[in-house]
Structures are given as structure tokens and as C-alpha cells.
């Protein structure tokens, strides 16, 4: 069995897979006491561990130590690359690209082999465009919902309001509405620009992943939802490396 791990800024997602496909998949917060508790019955069957992470070096080392408590199997970290499987990175210095973006693009490319946009709606929102030739055309990094909420809470503390999960972009009539609706309004603006880019670049589809994916769909993003897209990218790497 292989264990695939996507460690973000606030959450860790993992998938246990064998030759038949996914055996078990979960997501939890990085601060959870035992994020891999559900894997303990399978620990002796794990043969390989592949990790994609955007966390700090301290976070990476902590993750590795936690995995070593589960199994002695070596933990392999994978990062953004110049090219793989016909997908080509646009970055001059690929070490500056978050591993999750590259692995999400790799999964999308492996699935479709034609142009696409990929949106990862996590702590940060990332948007990347890939051509029919597998060339990364560039992308965007934006603050995610929780990051924007945290900014308002810390930097505008005197305003005083509660966040809610309503998805409404109409003009607010109270401070709480103005803030909450304003966040939805911003997301609608991002979606409009993204739709325009997809049309202008002639991209065939948009893939959506991440913890806030449902919010983007509810606010009008025309996309195919792909949970665990980063994990699927890691799975493609594993398959290629096993083939030699």
C-alpha cells in the first residue's frame, strides 16, 4: 500500500491506496493530536509514503516525525519540477513554486491531456492555467476565506462583528453583513475574472479542489470538483517511478 499526504498551511489530507485504488482517505487539522490515527490498523501494510507540503521547515520535520511514529517506512517529499509527464513549469526557479500547485496541475494533466485551469481553494487560493501542449501559462495566489477573515479580525478589531457562513454578495446593511457579504463579493469578482481568462485562453475546463471548493461553486464558478487533486498528482508520480 502507498500513503499519499498533502500537508497545507492549516490542514493535512491523506489517502491510503493499493493497486485497486483508494482504501481510505481523510482530512484533519495540522494541530490534531493524532492526524493519522485511522491508519494504525494498516501501518504494517504501508510500503511507500509520498508527501507534498507547503508548510514551513519546522512543520515538515514535525510531519515526518509523526509519520515515523506510525511506520518506519522512509518518507519521500516531492516538490515542484521543471517538467514531468509532458507538463512543463513556467517558473524560472521551480523551487519557488508551492508543491501543491505542481501536483494539482500534474493530476489535471494526467486526467485530461488538454488545456485546463485548476483552482485550489484552501488557506490561500491558487489559480493556474495549462495549455493543450502541457505548458503552464502562469497563475495567481490570493488570500483564502479564512485568511481574509483573520485579517479583518486582527486589523479591524474595533469594528466588531461575527462571521457567518452565508453566501450573499448583495450590499450589506450592518457591519456584519458588509463584512460577510464583502468577502462573497470579492470571491464573485475572482470568479468573473477566472471565467474571462478561461474564455480568452481557450481552456477546455476548470478543475476545483480545496476546503472551500463548495463556496466557489455556490458563488457561480463553472468547474468540475476534484477532491484530493494534489494526492492524485502524487499517485501519478508514484506510478511513474514504479514503472522505472
Beta bridge pairs of residue 24: 16
What three-state secondary structure class fits 8?
Answer: coil
Residue 23: burial class (beta carbons within 10 Å; 0-12, 13-18, 19+): middle
Q: Where are the alpha helices (DSSP H) in 132-174?
A: 145-155
Determine which one of 6, 100, 120, 238 is catalytic.
Answer: 100
Distance CA 21, CA 94 (A): 30
DSSP 171: P
Comparing C-alpha atoms, which of 198, 78, 81 is closest to residue 128?
198
Residue in the structure block whose three cell numbers are 478589531 = 157
Per the annotation, the verdict on 100 as an active-site residue is yes
CB 35 within 8 A of CB 28: yes
Active-site residue set = 100
Amino acid at each position: 500500500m502507498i500513503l499519499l499526504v498533502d500537508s497545507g498551511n492549516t490542514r493535512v489530507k491523506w489517502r491510503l491506496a493499493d493497486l485497486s485504488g483508494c482504501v481510505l482517505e481523510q482530512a484533519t487539522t495540522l494541530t490534531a493530536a493524532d492526524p493519522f490515527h485511522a491508519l494504525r490498523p494498516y501501518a504494517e501494510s504501508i510500503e511507500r509514503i509520498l508527501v507534498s507540503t507547503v508548510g514551513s521547515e519546522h512543520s515538515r520535520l514535525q510531519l515526518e516525525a509523526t509519520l515515523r511514529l506510525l511506520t518506519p517506512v522512509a518518507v519521500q517529499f516531492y516538490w515542484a519540477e521543471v517538467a514531468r509527464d509532458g507538463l512543463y513549469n513556467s517558473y524560472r526557479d521551480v523551487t519557488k513554486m508551492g508543491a501543491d500547485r505542481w501536483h494539482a496541475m500534474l493530476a489535471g494533466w494526467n486526467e485530461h491531456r488538454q488545456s485546463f485551469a485548476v483552482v485550489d481553494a484552501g488557506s490561500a487560493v491558487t489559480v493556474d492555467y495549462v495549455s493543450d501542449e502541457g505548458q503552464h501559462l502562469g497563475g495567481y495566489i490570493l488570500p483564502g476565506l479564512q485568511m481574509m477573515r483573520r485579517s479583518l479580525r486582527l486589523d479591524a478589531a474595533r469594528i466588531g462583528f461575527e462571521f457567518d457562513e452565508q453566501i450573499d454578495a448583495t450590499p450589506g446593511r450592518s457591519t456584519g453583513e458588509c463584512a460577510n457579504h464583502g468577502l462573497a463579493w470579492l470571491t464573485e469578482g475572482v470568479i468573473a475574472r477566472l471565467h474571462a481568462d478561461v474564455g480568452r485562453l481557450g481552456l477546455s475546463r476548470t478543475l476545483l479542489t480545496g476546503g472551500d471548493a463548495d463556496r466557489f461553486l455556490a458563488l457561480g464558478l463553472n468547474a468540475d470538483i476534484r477532491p484530493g487533486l494534489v494526492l492524485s498528482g502524487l499517485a501519478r508520480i508514484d506510478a511513474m517511478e514504479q514503472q522505472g
